[in-house]
Structure 1
């Protein structure tokens, strides 16, 4: 071992940023090392598919989180951790460097889902700021980009491109865009917004394969049809990066298992953010891949690493903005569940998703603001009679 830090953080996203700043605020003299596989210092990830595309005054410089300046941490980019030795309390990088730790935070997040497509600069599995810059260079000027995936990230990217001089075809498996997530009437409104923006919708389709040549990328869909584009963006979510923890003998189950203080079964190892399976105070054990969770869990993990004894009791929400639609959600959104839609008029709705015995499992706030706490209270209330849901929020 050539060096040791009081705190080592594996991962360079928003969770790492929040943890490093919290450690520094709690114990200013502590040494902190962030080992990040990214090529950029920590940044605000949601802006990659939203604000950087729709706010001309917002730049990548604005998107930098200022982690090193505000935390005093040492940041090593382009660095992958290969293994953890919990007995020696060290991590080893793929370059063979061995670093000791007093406390360790695993904030490894996930890797973007990929398809059987060519290894080509014009094919992007969207996740990082580097991916954003590459997509920027491939878009605009009437060029044609195929976006694969009709979920959270795919629809945001499709909307962003359509608002920046790009022809877009969106490939997704649902019969109606958003149909697997939103109640039917809301999904119809969602799809209409894309149609009005002249996004071509390849409904009910999946990508089987593709080829690349000088003229572009050529996709083969599951019905045998083909789609030619100048570039392809894959936005199909992530696969959780918990193998480092598993190889070190830590408990994993669709993520790294932590307790209510974000501690693994090793008292010196913590996990937070996209990779953490934690016991939510309202909804039970879950793993959440959204910014509110990353921003909230990171500081709690950091303070606990620095000696606090803080319970993570926040139930996170997620949000999206496409065209003139803004929505927020808490809990599980699954259109196969029984739903109650409270139409507020003026394009505003609240949808309640009911699980077993009428227990509210999720709340969708469609163009409704300042209601997240009310949504959480509804989830905490358990079974609410259907006739009491309309007007509750």
Structure 2
């Protein structure tokens, strides 16, 4: 079997590794548009910026691994076309045939045209090169547009480096879509305690160049004169190849529970995959853990396994001295209650989000023994036994 993987991120390399672990005897080609070998992205907004991690430490496998496992790794050359009728991908002037194709093209930062056309010094954070360039400027006056995970992690790194940081967020609370009004204030207090000028419920209305300086006007009447603007307003699936090929797409490549696309020879995994999850409904997840496990799962299914991917989403963040892990997905229908155990002021907390007396999601703050119980609770009925166990784990 000839397998081509387009996208040399974590989902793609995880799939290639699993294919060989499962004894796949055929040719495996892994193609990445970036010049680097596949690497881990979470350190880009954490360890790399903080100086705790070197670029080489993010690389998943060295060159010898690919040679030993007979995986052809092609980097720095983007695929220009996928022909699902003939089963080929076009790479420069090279036509690569496939029996199975896996799309792991990931996502790209959502652009902010007002900033892009302003003439200001504007950056986005997605690649290793982006992170290394940003690291050298963290001591400057930084304006961050967007208080999502990337924006707040960069804010923490910049303040740790001694930079001046203003964060602008249109919502009244950061991360409210995930944490709700009960837990989101923890991150507001955390960043303000560390000197971040966190401006909520406002937005950028204009960016001008005056006398060699950048002047940013906010809807609340405040003005900022940053040296650098980081835009962190989310990401969009990089599904242009799938669209061009005629695959079904809608906010990513539409795949079924088995990670199969609308063409039976094509699969998708990671950020680009919009999956019909057997428990959560249609969902697209932009997290490290999902990239790894969907990549592996797609590899097994391409080899003939017939299991749906039903793993719950997981992500983590590290900001200053606060660590958090989160499992599950609340979804658009929301929740009936959130059960919080522990002291929010101490930031040692376990929280469970519940709807119809079933645990939708759970997380902890700085309680590292809690993640395994939380994993076991998500999806369960929130009965008295579970509630009592959660209470003993992190008593109020």
Shorter-chain TM-score bucket reads: 0.7 to 0.9
From 298, 301, 305, the equivalent of 2:302 is 305
Q: In structure 2, list runs of 5 or more residues that go unmatched.
A: none
Picking from 243, 248, 251, the partner of 2:245 is 248
Matched residue SS, 1:81: coil
Distance 2:177 2:370 in 1: 24
* CA offset digits 1:73-114 (Å, max 9, x no partner): 223333222322112101124x45432222111001111011
Equivalent residues of 2:34, 2:77 under 8 A apart: yes
SS of 1:163's equivalent in the other structure is helix
Residue 45 of structure 1 deviates from its aligned partner by: 0.1
Distance 2:145 2:380 in 1: 38
Q: Counterpart in 1 of 2:107?
A: 110
The alpha carbon displacement at 1:253 in A equals 3.1
In structure 2, the residue matched to 1:22 is 18
For residues 170 and 50 of structure 2, the distance between their equivalents in structure 1, rounded to whole angstroms, comes to: 27
8 Å CA contact 1:180–1:334 kept in 2: the answer is: no
2: CA distance, partners of 1:208 / 1:188: 25
2:161 partner SS: coil
Residue 47 (structure 1) aligns with: 43
Unaligned runs of 5+ in 1: none
- Relative to structure 1, the CA distance from residue 364 to residue 198 in structure 2 (aligned partners, 3 Å threshold; closer, same or farther) is same
The verdict on how the C-alpha distance between 1:52 and 1:310 changes in structure 2, with shifts beyond 3 A counting, is same
Instruction: Tell me, in whole angstroms, the C-alpha distance in 2 between the residues paired with 1:34 and 1:379.
Output: 35
Give the corresponding residue for 2:197: 200
Q: 1:309 to 1:68 in 2, by over 3 A?
A: farther
Report if the CA contact (8 A) 1:122-1:138 is conserved. no
Change (3 A) 1:211 1:266: same
Deviation at 1:213, TM superposition (A): 7.2
* Structure-2 separation of matches of 1:288 and 1:240: 10
Kept in 2, the 8 Å contact 1:21–1:70? The answer is no
Contact 1:281/1:314 (CA < 8 Å) preserved in 2?
A: no
Indicate conservation of the 8 Å contact 1:115/1:209, yes or no: no
Distance, in Å, in 2 between the alignment partners of 1:278 and 1:390 is 34
Aligned-residue offset at 1:180: 4.7
- Paired residue total: 383
Q: CA offsets per residue over residues 335-365 of structure 1, 9 Å max, x none?
A: 974432323245322222234x344332222
Q: Sort the Cα spacing of 1:387 and 1:225 in 2 relative to 1 into closer, same or farther, 3 A.
A: farther
CA contact (8 A) 1:7 1:30 kept: yes
Q: What is the deviation of 1:321?
A: 0.9
TM-superposed CA distance for 1:27, in Å, is 3.7
Question: Aligned in 2, Cα 1:69/1:235: closer, same or farther, shift over 3 Å?
Answer: farther
- 1-side partners of 2:210 and 2:299: how far apart? 48
Measure how far apart 1:251 and its partner are: 2.4
Asked if 1:276 is matched to 2:273, the reply is yes
> Is residue 120–residue 229 contact of structure 2 (8 Å, CA) maintained in 1?
no
Question: Aligned in 2, Cα 1:268/1:181: closer, same or farther, shift over 3 Å?
Answer: closer
Distance 1:19 1:67 in 2: 16
User: Aligned to 1:165, which of 162, 165, 168?
Assistant: 162
2:82 matched to which residue of 1? 84
Alpha carbons 1:6, 1:32 under 8 Å: kept:
yes
Cα gap change, 1:29/1:360 in structure 2, threshold over 3 Å: closer, same or farther? Answer: closer
- Deviations 1:104-141 (Å, cap 9, x if unpaired)? 1100111101112136683112111111011122222x
Which whole-Å deviations, capped at 9, do the CAs of 1:266-289 have from their partners, x for residues lacking one?
A: 222111001112243542332111
Q: Please report the TM-score for the alignment, with normalisation by the length of structure 2.
A: 0.86
